[in-house]
Amino acid sequence: MTIFINQSVEADNISEDRFIFNDADDYFVFATTGDVSQNFITFGKGANDFVTASNVSHNWITFGDGNFDRVEGANDVSWNWITFGDGGSDYVSTGGNMSHNLITFGDGVGNGVSAYGDISQNGITFGNGGENFIGDSYGNMSQNKITFGNGDSDNVSVGSSSRDAITFGNGFEDSFDASGNIDHDTITFGNGADELAFVRGNSSYDTVKFGNGDFDYLDIWGSSSNDTVNLGNGSSDYVSLDGTAHDLIIVGNGNSDNVYLGSGRAVGGDTVGAVAGLVGIEDGVVSGVINLESSGVEAPDWRPRHDKQYEA
């Protein structure tokens, strides 16, 4: 093992070395044609420090509090332990797949992880800076554990998602956006307002939990089956399901919550539940709870949730 102190290195392949840098800017470890693998790399608090290679694997990489620090793989980034400080605009990106990494960001703003391939089996943790993101619009995301802090406008944008656990903090306007299908995911929002989960494809066996903020929103364009949706105690929450089958929707204690069932018809034993008692559904708009066993939406035991009757 060679130890490099305050010395950037550019070579075809870089493996089994140790790098220690001070707080100056623009240090790098750069494999021009091959891989960066099995190295210990520690950067100081300078900005614009980076590790770049065709493949980045089995490294221990630590950055300080500078901005614009990054790890880039032209092909794959895998089996790394990557820790950033509190700088902003830090990121890990790859033109291929990203898997089996443990990635931790500090409290900077605008930090992110992106891939053109698949993102799978990673542990990714963000701090409280806000505007942090996961971007995988061209590939699939699966079996990741992703945790955001309490900053505003954190976002996950993916092609499809399977068996992911995604937890947002208490910031405002956090969002999850899938252009394809999702299945067996657990997506949890905090108590901020204006949270959004938007699925353009189908959803099955997923759990979406909103906190106590107002104006939270779930919209599934495709079919939904065996999903669980839990609204918190905020007001004016909104759920729209186009084609439903065996879904469970639990409404909290907020006011003016609405659940829309596409054409106004439930399919195959959906259940809408409330925190307290039975309430009603009319013309496909749910203002409380009813077991939707039939193909229609009429409620023979209609009871309004509040003193006034709800109208579509």
Q: What is the mean pLDDT of each run of 10 residues along the chain (312 residues)?
A: 96 98 98 97 98 98 98 97 97 97 97 96 97 88 97 96 98 96 97 96 96 94 92 89 81 83 51 43 40 33 34 36
Rg of the chain (C-alpha set): 23
pLDDT of residue 255: 83
pLDDT attached to residue 279: 33
Check residue 308 and give its pLDDT.
36
Give me the number of domains the chain comprises.
Answer: 1
Domain assignment present for 78: yes
| Burial of residue 16, with CB atoms counted within 10 A of its CB: 0-12 exposed, 13-18 middle, 19 or more buried | exposed
Q: Tell me, what's the pLDDT at 281?
A: 35
> How many helical (H) and strand (E) elements, i.e. helices and strands, does the chain have?
0, 36
Q: The whole model's pTM is what?
A: 0.86
Is the residue at 293 inside a domain? Answer: no
The answer to whether residue 138 is domain-embedded is: yes
Cα angle for residues 227, 231, 233 (degrees, 5° grid): 165
The answer to whether position 60 is within a domain reads yes
Range of the domain at 135: 1-148
| Single-letter amino acid code for the residue at 279 | V
Q: Which residues pair with 61 in a beta bridge?
A: 41, 82
